[in-house]
Chains A and B, each alone.
Chain A
Amino acid sequence: MSETNEAKPDTPSTGPPKAFDVAAIRADFPILSQLQTTSDGSKKRLVFLDSAASSQRPNQVLDAMDEVYKTGYANVHRGVYQLAERATNAYEGGRKKIARFIGAPDAAEVIFTKNATESLNLVAGSWGRQNLGPGDAVLITMLEHHANIVPWQMLAAEKEFEIRWVPVNEGGELILDTLDQLLDGVKLFSFTAMSNVTGTLTPVRRLVDAAHAKGALACVDACQAVPHQPVDVTEWDADFVAFSGHKMLGPSGIGVLWGRRELLEDMPPFLGGGGMILNVTTEGFIPDGLPGKFEAGTPPIVESAGLGAAVDYLSTLGMEAVRQHEIELTAYAMRSLTEALGEGLTIHGPSEPAARGGVLSLTLDDVHAHDISQILDESAVCIRPGHHCAKPLMRHFGVSATARASLYIYNDTDDLDALTEALVKARKFFAL
């Protein structure tokens, strides 16, 4: 894993998974080589288990971004000088790589945003504002992140349409018995491909088909899916797919909305400004074509180059192998945590590792997640306490906070052993 800056062909998604060399991968991530000093003065290896919030990034991504800043930076799509052309190529080159990575038929369908949240707001603010009104309904699920709830609630307050919810069972899986009734009169079904709390993988193609059968569009929040499993938007047959760059080894400040060309073409612009117009007069404006119509202002130029390098890195590993690695680690974690902590430990979400992503939301006895996280920090174990921006789901589980450990390509069983050990310490510390 030392020279992945160049675009490489996508790894085929079939065949036996390659051996996963975590040590070699970790060597590519400078941030992971640092030691954390704890209060007793000892130095501990950093155990980073918070990739569901934001991943780390390898040298290949950092170098690709540095390269643009040092040798090819200017604003895009405007200048005629060579530097501007190189910057434009870097920016558009990233778009092409990302299109290929998600199986998009056309790179112009890949819209760069700030993050997945903005992508979902774009769908609500542009398609939703144009197409939703009284008597209409949008269907979402109880698994959603606030990013796929609040934009609809904001728009519903204005457009007076109904928001319906697909229920969730105790195991954190969607209850689909009544899906067809729920879809009656629905214009858009917007759902997550993988819960950021429970790791639940939803049956994306089945949900898309169900929506289409009822004449509804399907929007997929793939923020947790794209970084961790093979995703092909054409195989999903979705209408919109949203995800963030920073959760998949890319930089913060860039997200993606993929949409079907004919839908995007019919939609009004979301933000207005430079870069998104063909012409402006005192009377009004004519919007640009795709993707420019949705990219007002100076876009995330260097971030696109960085995200392009990130998908190169992931493609070299192979997304099937990434997924397999995370299933194995998840199975190991569930087994070792249960053995060490037994009763009093709850791992929310599906019990079958292959039915979930590498996200482990834990509650331990009555110890609050904040306190768990604080004790774990003493062992340089980074996890996330809180509601994970999914308060309706947390309320459903009857908890106000969980301690969430989430896995990625650079994690190994040593990390999980450190997690288990630190949790045992936390239990002792707070024993009632």
Chain B
Amino acid sequence: MAGLEDLYREIILDHYRSPRNRGELETPPAHRAEGFNPLCGDEIVVYVEADENDRIRDIKVGGQGCSISQSSASMMSGAVKGKTIAEARGLMGAFKAMMSIHETDIGGDGSEAEQGIDSPVETIATAELKLGDLEALRGVVKFPVRIKCATLSWNTLNQVLEEIEAD
């Protein structure tokens, strides 16, 4: 039986209370995408401005949601800021790998959670990337219904990155 302390680590609560990179960016030059969790109504908006070398120059996060989705978004923004799009995708793969243990377990419910999941090969290759603060979200896998909260911002980031690459 997983305890609340597995889910609500102090660092998660810290990111929830003081979210990093909160706000908006002007579009263009930034790109913007909205993500929804249809189950609970959480909405997240991610703005990304990339430079000519596909490096994430700036990222901002808006929207509203629970402590898990908000802290995950805050940590995500800190983790990918300054990284190249390829590096950000690598982190995404590593994070999804950390979360995916239960995504497969919950079977038919995983359709949304699987949006934007990188191929398994890449996931293994990137699993060694340093997740840093994001490691604190590892406990979420013990609470399967909350995995979608944790992955919402990453799926939304993935949408923005796809838009940037399509541009």
Asked if B40 and A369 make an inter-chain contact with CB atoms under 8 angstroms apart, the answer reads yes
A37 to B64 CA separation, bound complex (whole angstroms)? 32
Which residues of chain B in 21-66 are interfacial with respect to chain A, using CB atoms and an 8 Å cutoff?
A: 39-43, 64-66
Which residues of chain B in 55-112 are interfacial with respect to chain A, using CB atoms and an 8 Å cutoff?
A: 64-70
Asked if B17 and A432 make an inter-chain contact with CB atoms under 8 angstroms apart, the answer reads yes
Asked if B67 and A401 make an inter-chain contact with CB atoms under 8 angstroms apart, the answer reads no
Asked if B43 and A400 make an inter-chain contact with CB atoms under 8 angstroms apart, the answer reads yes
Asked if B67 and A368 make an inter-chain contact with CB atoms under 8 angstroms apart, the answer reads yes
A430 to B4 CA separation, bound complex (whole angstroms)? 12
Question: Which chain A residues border B143 with CB–CB below 8 Å?
Answer: 374
A385 to B1 CA separation, bound complex (whole angstroms)? 22
Write out, one digit per residue, whether chain A residues 16-48 have a CB within 8 A of any chain B CB (1) or not (0). Answer: 000000000000000000000111110000000
Residue from A371, A386, A429 in contact with B39 in the complex, judged by beta carbons closer than 8 Å:
A386
Interface flag for A394 (CB, 8 Å): yes
A11 to B143 CA separation, bound complex (whole angstroms)? 45
Interface flag for A205 (CB, 8 Å): no
A387 with B40, Cβ < 8 A, contacts A374-B143, A400-B65 known = yes
Asked if B4 and A374 make an inter-chain contact with CB atoms under 8 angstroms apart, the answer reads yes
Q: Which residue of B lies closest to A425 (CB)?
A: B4
Shortest distance in angstroms between A355's beta carbon and chain B's nearest beta carbon? Answer: 26
Asked if A430 and B1 make an inter-chain contact with CB atoms under 8 angstroms apart, the answer reads no
Asked if A400 and B4 make an inter-chain contact with CB atoms under 8 angstroms apart, the answer reads no
A368 to B12 CA separation, bound complex (whole angstroms)? 14
Residue from A37, A371, A387 in contact with B1 in the complex, judged by beta carbons closer than 8 Å:
A37
Residue from A369, A375, A385, A432 in contact with B4 in the complex, judged by beta carbons closer than 8 Å:
A375
Asked if B3 and A400 make an inter-chain contact with CB atoms under 8 angstroms apart, the answer reads no
Residue from A39, A40, A374, A401 in contact with B42 in the complex, judged by beta carbons closer than 8 Å:
A401
A374 to B150 CA separation, bound complex (whole angstroms)? 14
Shortest distance in angstroms between B96's beta carbon and chain A's nearest beta carbon? Answer: 21
Asked if A401 and B4 make an inter-chain contact with CB atoms under 8 angstroms apart, the answer reads no
Q: Which residue of B lies closest to A41 (CB)?
A: B1
A237 to B3 CA separation, bound complex (whole angstroms)? 53
A374 to B2 CA separation, bound complex (whole angstroms)? 12
A430 with B42, Cβ < 8 A, contacts A41-B1, A370-B149, A374-B146 known = no
Interface flag for A67 (CB, 8 Å): no
Question: Which chain B residues border A371 with CB–CB below 8 Å?
Answer: 8, 66-68
Shortest distance in angstroms between A82's beta carbon and chain B's nearest beta carbon? Answer: 40
Interface flag for A391 (CB, 8 Å): yes
Asked if A378 and B41 make an inter-chain contact with CB atoms under 8 angstroms apart, the answer reads no
Residue from B13, B17, B40, B43 in contact with A385 in the complex, judged by beta carbons closer than 8 Å:
B40
Shortest distance in angstroms between B15's beta carbon and chain A's nearest beta carbon? Answer: 13
Asked if A430 and B41 make an inter-chain contact with CB atoms under 8 angstroms apart, the answer reads no
Shortest distance in angstroms between B97's beta carbon and chain A's nearest beta carbon? Answer: 24
Shortest distance in angstroms between A372's beta carbon and chain B's nearest beta carbon? Answer: 9
Interface flag for B161 (CB, 8 Å): no
Shortest distance in angstroms between A331's beta carbon and chain B's nearest beta carbon? Answer: 29
Shortest distance in angstroms between A379's beta carbon and chain B's nearest beta carbon? Answer: 11
A37 to B43 CA separation, bound complex (whole angstroms)? 33
Which residues of chain B in 116-148 are interfacial with respect to chain A, using CB atoms and an 8 Å cutoff?
A: 143, 146
A430 with B65, Cβ < 8 A, contacts A37-B1, A39-B3, A401-B42 known = no
Asked if B41 and A386 make an inter-chain contact with CB atoms under 8 angstroms apart, the answer reads yes
Asked if A370 and B1 make an inter-chain contact with CB atoms under 8 angstroms apart, the answer reads no
Question: Which chain B residues border A370 with CB–CB below 8 Å?
Answer: 40, 42, 65-69, 146, 149
Which residues of chain A in 382-401 are interfacial with respect to chain B, using CB atoms and an 8 Å cutoff?
A: 385-387, 391, 394, 400-401
Q: Which residue of B lies closest to A395 (CB)?
A: B41
Give A residues with C-beta under 8 Å from B.
Answer: 37-41, 368-371, 374-375, 378, 385-387, 391, 394, 400-401, 429-430, 432
CB<8 Å pairs between A and B, sample of 30: A37-B1, A38-B1, A39-B1, A39-B2, A39-B3, A41-B1, A368-B64, A368-B65, A370-B40, A370-B42, A370-B66, A370-B67, A371-B67, A371-B68, A374-B143, A375-B4, A385-B40, A385-B66, A386-B40, A387-B40, A387-B41, A394-B41, A400-B41, A400-B42, A400-B43, A400-B65, A401-B41, A401-B66, A429-B4, A430-B67
> 14 additional contacts, CB 8 Å, given A39-B4, A40-B3, A400-B41?
A37-B1, A39-B3, A368-B65, A370-B69, A371-B8, A371-B66, A371-B68, A374-B4, A374-B7, A385-B40, A387-B40, A387-B41, A401-B66, A430-B13
